[in-house]
Structure 1
Amino acid sequence: MLVYQTDALTIRELEHSDKNLLISWLNDPLVLTYYAGRDCPHDEDLIDEHFYKEEDSVVRCLIEYENRPIGYIQFYEIEEEERLEYGYSNTNEKIYGTDQFIGETAYWNKGIGKLLVRSMLDYLLNVHKVDRVVMDPQQWNIRAISCYERCGFTKVKELPAHEMHEGELRDCWLVEYSRITKRSNMRVGKIY
């Protein structure tokens, strides 16, 4: 199912026929450096476990740029455990999280990540009517954090020893985009 589309970017729900793309991307050491860790290549079983579960509420999508599959994005409502950890337990706001990667490294450093993040913000703010969108990038990933900040996200909380990556617990930042503070009316594509 089509989720969102601009002239160049398409976000659609993940299909089983996309499995080989995920296997390819998540066996590329360069992609793994930033996503799962080089010590965590994904075989078919791990892809099934991480990307094709139907019992959770995560919406998993494939990213296409100019009709070519280039990456993955998922979005989900933040559950109570994360709300507590992130400091959102005393609010009734609708808060969503996203995770994403561009698996085709030839498409890195071309502004596509920024287009992707802005497009997902547009979709979540205008279709799902969320109040906040959050992510928790590892602190060493300056390139991702810079992209998120250029899209209007701000660092709101340090998350020490938050995520296991390549054999060690890494510090992360909680970054958020708040509808309340931004009052955004961004519209960059068609919402389906």
Structure 2
Amino acid sequence: MESPIIACEGPVAIRKMQNSEHDFLLMLRWMTDPQTMRYWEGMQEIYTYERVAREFAEHGREGVTPCIIAYAGAEIGYCQFCLLNAELFEVPEREYARFARPEDRVYGIDIFLGEVEYRNRGVGTACLKALMRALFETHGADALMIDPKTHNARAIRCYRKCGFQDLFIVPQREWQDGKYHDSLIMGVRKAGF
């Protein structure tokens, strides 16, 4: 049986999310927090337990690995990763090809800290670095990509601290709160980590 532990580095532990009431309730708390939703799905999204259970149970079937992040034993956030190509990432092929070679194993990642008191303390950086190391060292990643909305300055600073470089902007890529938002596509290669 495959281990549910994705990464364990210092105070950071990342495990695969389980289809369990415990994990769905964690996600529900975070998905109904305005400070999280401002950058994740938007303030107009309404999450119920049933919606969380349905959406996150589907992730594994879609090739996405959903995970719970713990820091010093406290469950504080969420991350997910999946193998990518330009079509799956919904970015222009020409721009994607400037970063990723055809033979590359490229993972897309998403991450947030759902527990507000852990933000702005370097915890997100530590969690992201642990995930990156696991993907490079145990999942065979050649490169990683992430796609924050351009207005998410805190996340962009964190990603840059972890070695991600700005690659390109996709205008009006994500619909949130009644309007389209631009996404900054960022990437890091294993050699640059």
Question: Structure 1 length normalisation: TM-score?
Answer: 0.89
| Local SS of the residue matching 1:34 | coil
Pairwise mapping of residues 70-149 of structure 1 onto structure 2 (< 5 A)?
70-79=76-85, 81-82=87-88, 85-86=91-92, 87-88=95-96, 91-149=102-160
1:11 aligns with 2:14: yes
1:41 to partner: Cα distance: 3.1
Secondary structure, aligned partner of 1:57 = coil
User: 1:32·1:41 contact (CA, 8 Å) conserved in 2?
Assistant: no
Number of residues of Structure 1 aligned to a counterpart in Structure 2: 182
Q: Which runs of 5+ in 2 are unaligned?
A: none
TM-score of the pair, normalised by structure 2 = 0.88
Choose between structure 1 and 2 for higher RCO, CA contacts under 8 A separated by at least 6 residues: 1
The 3-state SS of whatever aligns with 1:122 is: helix
1:46 is aligned, of 51, 73, 86, to 51
Shift in Å, 1:7 = 2.4
CA RMSD of aligned residues (A): 1.6
Identity %: 27
C-alpha deviations, 1:140-163, integer Å up to 9, x for none? 111100110011000001110011
Amino acid at match of 1:23: L
1:63 corresponds to which residue?
Answer: 69
Residue 169 in structure 1 maps to residue 177 in structure 2:
no
* Residue identity in the other structure for 1:81: E
Contact 1:61 1:73 in 2 (8 A): yes
Q: CA deviation at 1:12?
A: 0.5
AA aligned opposite 1:14: M
Q: Deviations over 1:160-182 (max 9, x none)?
A: 001111111100110001124x1
8 Å Cα contact 1:162/1:169 also seen in 2: yes
Moved over 3 A (4+): 86-90
